Structure 1
């Protein structure tokens, strides 16, 4: 653990006793000192904390404790953080997974988004920023949802079962494509900027490139639009963002 990370411990001299438990946050981290840091951060905000020191133990706790969010290191014994993220999202797509790692390369961040991670915080980190991102992810999870089955044009989307059909034929969507499509269906005919989509769907307040959004829209059009080159549902509003027309 770096000297910057050790400073996090020095910022926290007292832990406020929880008055009302807000749910369980699962921390999957193999560094005992970082485990202690994270335990204090979440205990101060009245969360219960479960800690796992390797990927296998983390997966077992995920299945038994049903956490409201997961804070996940990438480099873990037994099961890697990337594989664990993908497995957790296949079990419970709505449970937020916030990756906490020293790896800063853009390619790693994009890969994690494709695997379903909700946010990415780089070590060393600010306790206040981490807490804000975790709470934002939890709020998005608790947002009132529409009916599980949504129909538009030739498409039928079952968000609960994560299945999709176009003209009666099954279409395979990734976890993040389902999340992006759901956000569009929750805000029909509203112009949504790329930055807003990155923040609300991916969980990033800022990101090195908005091409991530453009690529996901392109894939959704190829799978759901009758003519992807001339979309009628997922429209580009030049200079502003995108608009969903049911």
Structure 2
């Protein structure tokens, strides 16, 4: 295990060649890296080490990546997770995002893209909208705390869900296309398709309930209801 000023990333991958490649590129990018190949041990180490992010293979033997993600989220652990999957199937992707993953990569992938995705997630987590508090109806978004409350009740969001909600709420009433949201929130337009935006919006609406300010402009995209 290494430790640097950029923080520790836990890699959970049972293919040694892929794990070594991920470790190499993340280390070169300035991250500390700790890797595990066993799901049960990985879950224990994630809880012990409190990393800044997790690179999580879906198809682990035994305790798989989806179960690890679910257990972390159910326990209130919202450390950013990038799923790595060999299954190029939209159902698997949507399932991962619904469970609370922040992003995913399909094998084979470029390790440089992994680093870029990870940097993007951590950059957003570090403080978009610093010093601002947004209030839309019953919804309150605190950028300093990166917290969201609906009618006073705190709502747990992934880093990506928070950034999507905050981005929409910064410009109430403005309609953004899916491509614009992919570019602004995920950092690259079209890299994972418009369906990714739809899934995150659906998750936000489910979590926020009646307090959700997100509106659909059919055939165009999404907006946040006007400030109240």
Please report the TM-score for the alignment, with normalisation by the length of structure 2: 0.76
Structure 1 unmatched ranges of 5 or more: 1-17, 227-232
Change in CA separation of 1:59 and 1:187 when aligned onto 2, cut-off 3 Å: farther
Say if 1:27 and 1:71, in contact at 8 Å, map to a contact too. Answer: yes
Q: Counterparts of 1:212 and 1:164 in 2: how far apart (Å)?
A: 24
Q: CA deviation at 1:51?
A: 0.6
1:92 aligned residue (54, 74, 77): 77
**Bigger Rg, structure 1 or 2:** 1
Alignment RMSD: 3.6
2:126 is equivalent to residue 142 of structure 1: yes
Say if 1:118 and 1:203, in contact at 8 Å, map to a contact too. Answer: no
Tell me which residue corresponds to 2:106: 122
Q: Counterparts of 1:63 and 1:92 in 2: how far apart (Å)?
A: 9
Q: CA deviation at 1:242?
A: 2.4
What are the superposed Cα offsets for residues 56-108 of structure 1, whole Å, 9 maximum, x if unpaired? 22222222222121111011234210121233344332x32111121110111
1:224 aligned residue (191, 207, 210): 210
2:139 is equivalent to residue 156 of structure 1: yes
Quick check: 235-244 or 59-68, which moved more? Answer: 235-244
Q: CA deviation at 1:48?
A: 0.7
Say if 1:55 and 1:77, in contact at 8 Å, map to a contact too. Answer: yes
Aligned residues: 218
Q: Counterparts of 2:96 and 2:157 in 1: how far apart (Å)?
A: 13
Please report the TM-score for the alignment, with normalisation by the length of structure 1: 0.71
Tell me which residue corresponds to 2:51: 67
Q: Counterparts of 1:49 and 1:179 in 2: how far apart (Å)?
A: 25
Say if 1:118 and 1:201, in contact at 8 Å, map to a contact too. Answer: no
What are the superposed Cα offsets for residues 84-143 of structure 1, whole Å, 9 maximum, x if unpaired? 1233344332x3211112111011111111111111111111122121111111111112
